[in-house]
Amino acid sequence: MAEHIVRFADRAEPITVRAGTLLVEAARRLGLDIQQPCGGQGRCGRCAVRVESGRVRRRSVLRLSKADVEAGYALACQTVVEGDVSVVVPPVEQIERRLTTDHVAPEVVVPVGYDPEKAQTIGRVFLRLSPPSMDDQTDDWARLCTALRRRTGIDRLRASLPQIRELGGTLRSSGWHVGLTYDTAGEPPGTARLIKVGPMASEASEPLCGLAIDVGTTTVTVFLVDLLTGEVTAQSSEYNQQIARGEDIISRIVYATKGGGGEELRELVLATINGRVAAVCGRANIEPAAIVKATLTGNSTMTHLLLGIPPESIRLEPFITSINQPPLLSARDVGITMCSDGTVDLLPGVASYLGADITAGVLSSGLRSSAETTLFIDIGTNGEMVLGSSQWLVSCACSAGPAFEGSGVVHGMRADRGAIEEVWIDGRSYEPTFRVIGKGQPRGICGSGLISLAAEMFLTGILDKGGHIDESLASPRIRRGSHGAEYVVAWGGDTANGDDITITAVDIDNLLRAKAAVYAGFNVLADRVGVELDSVERVLIGGAFGKYINVEKAVDIGLLPDLPWERFEFLGNTSVKGAYLSLLDREMRAEVGEIASAMTYVELSADNSFYEAFTSALFLPHTDLSRFPSVETSMT
């Protein structure tokens, strides 16, 4: 097959590829990251590059205008090489690799009265073995097991082959005085798994650490936990490196089904996790080998990708995971940089779109600790919600689309530096003011900014009940653009890149569909158990999104139910908190299992009432205004 040379403008070295190779693949081989928010499906247009010379074939030109194509633009994920080519990657599209460590810093406190002896499945003992002699030729392994049994009553110790290989050397180099760490999690009574054996001197001076890890679609958060005190000694967060291969779950699943894509995504999320583990170890000045256990949460797609389990069936009706409750694994199995035989515990999920992040969230939110009817929600690309109390749990998930994550709208962006996160509009001049994350000039609008903007536009009459922009209003900010009517939030002279930041009719429509899906989900859950939405006594909001949202504005657009503000509570990253609690305490770990088992999951796409509730919610705030009395008041 013919081979061609591909040059990228900012790379000195060209690369030789076979004819038919995608540009995105050629770039990847050069170590050049081209953003593919839609997972390389040719849907989003974010991977557009300019072909300066040479022959390529565009399989798709979706989102490119005729002029774009004439100017050489091509979608890197949809364009194959057919000759020697030179390519320019517009800088704005290169993936920003900001290490935004600590941009989420959930507050966790050690549970009152935490007693590691009682709560932990991890044990560490120090054993002074009598050395073998001609009178006692017991083999090394039996010698160790006997000493352990005498000390702890554990009469069966399971070990991996690598551990057995190292044992003899360790016993002899340590002078037969060792520290032994084991885990009884998941084992029958009297049985434990060996985690490590080391010389007593070094083990005694080494801390005993664990990790609580939340593998989010967008952000990976790692807590380093001292298992002897329960304290979080360091924490670190970073964007999941998989983002470069798809911003949302569906894009990632699509990417994973391509040849090698699943393995690539597995490596990317592992690199993210291990990068953060290295960071927390460095900060706490410990060796990764001191980490003997990791408890992980994440949605079902994230856990499948992390474990290298094909996720295809998650996105295809009837939406099935390969496994909701993975077995206990070792760090060696999974690939996390810590003690090789340390336990890796992925908390149980419930369904394809109701993963361990939610069961862990329910745990840490305290929903089950009260008989009050409580709504727990975690909104991102997907909106997951649980209605329940100490007695019962019912849950569902709806696809909100990417609007709340800041993509899927023309000037949308993640809640990051430069994002407009809150907007106020003058009811007479229609002039906006806004707050930008990190203060500087705006670069786009994030999810909370969109909600705020839509609420203001509605309350000032720029939007009507149906979500249409009133083009009759006398303001230069209301105009007609290439996507129909639009409102200019920031003029080009005030923005980071010199372009106007606008919200279009199409954007509003996307936002309406997103909020209608979430609100319809609440309705279906309430109907299912026969309670009224306004009888919900607590609304617990988890997830990073919940940290920035303005409840009043969310109620204004009909995203959240119209309840007294004091019933709302923002909990931050409930998922990582649940992992933390499960890592610390076997009873908490057991409770996550009970939550997963007890939870009734309602599949909305198989639920007739959902579509009706969704349609009714496609208005601002709702077709039935009596559901939103406080908004009715604001409007008058």
* Contacts to a copy of itself by CB under 8 A: 132-142, 158-161, 164-165, 167-169, 172, 188, 307-310, 312-313, 317-327, 329, 333-334, 351-352, 601, 603, 605-606
User: What span, in angstroms and rounded, lies between the C-alpha atoms of 191 and 185?
Assistant: 9
> Minimum distance from CB of 159 to a copy of itself (Å)?
6
- Amino acid in the structure at residue 382: N
In the complex with a copy of itself, which residue's Cβ is closer, 539 or 599?
599
- The two three-digit tokens of residue 528, written as one number: 């299912």
CB of 201 to a copy of itself, least distance (A): 22
- 87 vs 524, beta carbon nearer a copy of itself: 524
Q: Which is closer to a copy of itself, CB of 98 or CB of 165? A: 165
- CB of residue 349 vs a copy of itself: minimum separation in angstroms? 8
Nearer to a copy of itself, 160 or 337 (CB): 160
Q: What is the residue whose two structure tokens read 């009459």?
A: 461
Q: CB nearer to a copy of itself: give 1 or 142.
A: 142
Q: Which is nearer to a copy of itself, 148 or 540 (CB)?
A: 148
- 498 Rama class: left (phi>0) / alpha (psi -120 to 50) / beta: left
Contacts of 237 (CB under 8 A, 6+ apart): 100, 101, 102, 103, 104, 105, 219, 220, 221, 222, 276
* Residue 427 to residue 421: CA distance in whole angstroms: 19
Write out the two tokens for 89: 């990657």
Strand pairing category for 209-215 and 444-445: unpaired
Residues 6+ apart with CB under 8 A from 250: 39, 315
Q: Closest approach of Cβ 162 to a copy of itself, in Å?
A: 9
Nearer to a copy of itself, 108 or 524 (CB): 524
Q: From the CB of 54, what's the least distance to a copy of itself, in Å?
A: 39
CB 567 → a copy of itself: shortest distance, Å? 31
Nearest alpha-carbon partner for 75 in 49, 37, 53 = 49
What are the residues facing 346 on neighbouring strands?
296
Identify which of residues 176 and 404 has a Cβ nearer to a copy of itself in the complex: 176
- C-alpha 182/C-alpha 176 separation (Å) is 18
Question: Which of these, 272, 266, 264, lies nearest to 221 by C-alpha position?
Answer: 272
* Nearest C-alpha neighbor of 342 from the set 170, 494, 503, 225: 225
Q: How far apart are CA 167 and CA 144, in angstroms?
A: 9
Q: How far is the CB of 327 from a copy of itself (least distance, A)?
A: 6
User: Least distance from C-beta 252 to a copy of itself, angstroms?
Assistant: 16
Choose between 194 and 533: whose C-beta lies nearer to a copy of itself.
Answer: 194
What's the closest the beta carbon of residue 157 comes to a copy of itself, in angstroms? 9
Query: Least Å distance between CB 160 and a copy of itself?
Result: 8
Which lies closer to a copy of itself via its Cβ, residue 60 or residue 257?
257
Residues 6+ away with beta carbon under 8 Å from 589: 121, 185, 295, 345, 347, 582, 583
Report the C-alpha gap between 178 and 459 in whole angstroms: 70
